[in-house]
């Protein structure tokens, strides 16, 4: 299996299968619910090249993978022996988690399983609207009707889908809750609603209790509340009924009680709550739409980082169900394109081959609404591009809010959202306002990043050193720490030359990592061997395949046999020139005589300054 090694590493760092309560995935993330979060090793998992970032938020341990998350999810499930029928472990810490975290966990657990088809349905609706406006299709044609049915089926039968996923999330039989959702959208119930609308009076009753009919198609809150009640009732019935009666009478009780209760109480109350939420949002939006847009454009990506954006998804869907349109999603598009523009600015400016490749792929993914690679892999580590993306998103969001643009179907905020903003009556000024705000966010963040997003680093000729013990190796350079296995060279990555770590340097200097002497110096000056006073043999190899430069861009400040102390300058190299020549600057720092020690331990975090502790050895 292609992702088997990654799956094993992920399982090992989340505490194993026995520590997993549940595992789902969204567009880019694996979302673990763990029994004990302290058993998970987030820092260790971040070192895997297949992992973009690890986030702990909303009661979930989230592993950001990228576009191929579904394949990794399958590999993790296969490795752990998980399947759809696997019993869900009890959440030992669930009662102690804060309310917001539990809410986000519930929402994400219900919507995540079908978020892809939800977005696809919305995009198809938008493309159909575009086809009608452009005259490519007629609403009366068979082609349009079939594609419209494909795009609208999920939304029309929302209670069935939500019934199934909510039933699984609440720990009940999902087929019972799905049937309850089916009852809400049954043709007979819709006919009763239409008849009540025509007569304007309550014409039906249940056991003498008057029934107020509503159209629950495309609704969200009623079925979620009904599913919770059904699952609670199912658990209580399961405890009271004898085992010989459970299989038949538990579903019977749930259906016979929950369905009438939903039409009599849960549905009307939930509908009132839905309308209250939608109208309350509209009041705030109408008061200052530009301010709402500015806030959403600035803060959306921050919410995504911490997984808090799931709290807004039901509100957007609820707006569509109650109002027929939603103003929140268009204001998020500048937030997304702000980060895309910042990544594009990095792509255009950087001469680091690895960063340029990552930024380029992040731009492509971001255009289609997947911003995690751009945020975690490019913008956030560089800081300024992320800030510029948020600022540009805020300005673009204000423009979109001021234009009062709406979407008429749900989906991810991406390039197709523009098609979803086409009003039923045809193109108007609100659509152009949405497009202008989006383009402004994209271009402004790109320009800001090009101008000031990647400032040059001040070069330090001497490192800040600490006292090194006889078993310690200080970092010979400043930069980003990699596991040796992540070095793009099989000889180093395999550990054949010894154990250690690697650093992607952020400046142009190599310093002595301990007190000792220069044991060897390659004629090309790209690598140097050292021997500490305590007998540790270290090889520092600047870059991969840099021997081919034949000494160009390298300067040695020591000779073989020279005595050195921590912090002495050993080598200088032209970092940018080496990158421009197409070489990878991952620098292995290897303890050549690793076999003389019981273990070689990397003690540095993901970033390190020259002179700070990097490696230590333990004796046999």
Task: Just list the catalytic residues.
Answer: 26, 541
- Count Cβ neighbours within 10 Å for each residue of 251-268 and write b for 16 or more, e otherwise: bebbbeebbbbbbbebbb
Q: φ, ψ for residue 317 (rounded to 5)?
A: -65, -40
Contacts of 350 (CB under 8 A, 6+ apart): 356, 359, 454
| Packing angle, helices 328-349 and 353-367, rounded to 10 | 160
Residue 587 to residue 606: CA distance in whole angstroms: 14
> Reduced to 3 states, what is the DSSP secondary structure of residue 429?
helix
R_g of the chain computed on alpha carbons: 29
Pairing of strands 554-556, 569-573: antiparallel
Phi and psi at 203, nearest 5°, equal: -110, -5
Could you please report the per-residue DSSP string of 444-486?
Answer: HHHHHHHHHSSPPPPPPSS----PPPTTEEE-SS-EEEEEGGG
| Contact criterion met (CB below 8 Å) for 331 and 401 | yes
Rounded-to-integer distance, Cα 313 and Cα 338, Å: 20
Q: 10 Å Cβ neighbour count for 96? A: 9
Tokens (6 digits) for 63: 């592993």
Query: What are the b/e assignments for 365-386, b being 16+ CB within 10 Å?
Result: bbbbbbbbbbbbbbbbebebbb
Q: Rounded to an integer, what distance in angstroms lies between the CA atom of residue 195 and that of residue 200?
A: 8
Structure tokens at 256: 């016979």
Tell me the CB-side half-sphere exposure of residue 95, using CA atoms within 13 A. 2
Find all residues with CB under 8 Å of 134, minimum gap 6, and list them: none
Which of these, 481, 471, 477, 372, lies nearest to 44 by C-alpha position?
481
- Dihedral (Cα; 545, 549, 551, 553), 10-degree rounding: -100
Q: How many CB atoms lie within 10 A of CB 112?
A: 20
- CA distance linking residue 180 with residue 214, whole number of Å: 15
């Amino acid at each position: 299996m292609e992702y088997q090694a990654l799956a094993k590493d992920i399982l090992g760092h989340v505490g194993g299968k026995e520590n997993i309560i549940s595992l789902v995935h969204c567009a880019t993330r694996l979302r673990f619910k763990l029994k004990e979060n302290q058993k998970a090793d987030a820092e260790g998992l971040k070192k895997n090249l297949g992992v973009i970032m690890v986030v702990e938020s909303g009661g979930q341990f989230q592993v950001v993978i990228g576009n191929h998350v579904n394949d990794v999810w399958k590999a993790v499930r296969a490795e752990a022996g998980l399947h759809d029928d696997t019993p869900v472990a009890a959440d030992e810490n669930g009662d102690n988690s804060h309310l917001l975290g539990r809410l986000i966990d519930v929402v994400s657990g219900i919507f995540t399983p079908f978020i892809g088809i939800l977005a696809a349905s919305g995009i198809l609706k938008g493309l159909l609207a575009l086809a009608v406006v452009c005259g490519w299709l007629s609403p009366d044609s068979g082609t349009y009707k079939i594609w419209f049915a494909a795009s609208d089926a999920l939304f029309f039968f929302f209670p069935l889908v939500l019934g199934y996923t909510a039933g699984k999330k609440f720990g009940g039989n999902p087929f019972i809750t799905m049937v309850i959702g089916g009852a809400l959208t049954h043709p007979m119930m819709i006919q009763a609603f239409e008849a009540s609308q025509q007569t304007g009076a309550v014409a039906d009753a249940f056991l003498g209790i008057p029934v107020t009919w509503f159209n629950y198609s495309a609704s969200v809150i009623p079925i979620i509340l009904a599913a919770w009640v059904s699952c609670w009732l199912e658990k209580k019935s399961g405890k009271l009924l004898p085992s010989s009666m459970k299989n038949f009478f538990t579903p019977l009780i749930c259906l016979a009680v929950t369905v009438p209760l939903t039409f009599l109480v849960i549905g009307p109350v939930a509908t009132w709550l839905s309308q209250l939420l939608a109208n309350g949002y509209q009041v705030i939006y109408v008061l200052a739409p530009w301010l709402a847009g500015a806030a959403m454009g600035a803060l959306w990506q921050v919410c995504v980082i911490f997984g808090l954006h799931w709290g807004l998804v039901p509100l957007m869907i609820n707006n569509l169900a109650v109002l027929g349109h939603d103003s929140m999603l268009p204001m998020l598009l500048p937030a997304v394109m702000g980060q895309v523009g910042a990544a594009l600015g990095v792509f255009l400016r950087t001469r680091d081959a690895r960063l340029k490749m990552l930024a380029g792929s992040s731009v492509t993914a971001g255009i289609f609404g997947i911003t995690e690679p751009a945020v975690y892999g490019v913008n956030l580590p560089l800081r300024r591009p992320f800030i510029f993306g948020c600022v540009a998103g805020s300005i673009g969001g204000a423009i979109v809010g001021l234009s009062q643009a709406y979407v008429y179907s749900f989906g991810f905020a991406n390039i197709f959202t523009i098609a979803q903003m086409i009003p039923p009556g045809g193109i108007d000024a609100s659509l152009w306002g949405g497009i202008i705000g989006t383009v402004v966010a994209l271009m402004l963040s790109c320009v800001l990043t090009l101008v000031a997003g990647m400032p040059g680093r001040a070069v330090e000729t001497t490192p800040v050193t600490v006292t090194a013990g006889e078993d310690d190796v200080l970092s010979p350079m400043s930069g980003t720490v990699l596991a040796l296995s992540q070095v793009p060279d099989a000889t180093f990555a395999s550990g054949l030359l010894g154990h250690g770590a690697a650093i992607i340097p952020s400046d142009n200097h190599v310093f002595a990592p301990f007190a000792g002497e220069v044991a060897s110096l390659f004629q090309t000056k790209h690598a140097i061997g050292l021997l500490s006073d305590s007998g540790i043999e270290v090889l520092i190899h600047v870059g991969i395949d840099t021997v081919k430069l034949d000494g160009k861009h390298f300067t040695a400040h020591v000779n073989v046999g020279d005595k050195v102390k921590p912090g002495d300058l050993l080598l200088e190299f032209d970092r940018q020139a080496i990158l421009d020549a197409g070489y990878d600057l991952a620098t292995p720092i290897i303890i050549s005589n690793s076999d003389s020690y019981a273990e070689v331990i990397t003690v540095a975090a993901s970033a390190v300054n020259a002179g700070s502790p990097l490696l230590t050895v333990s004796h046999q």
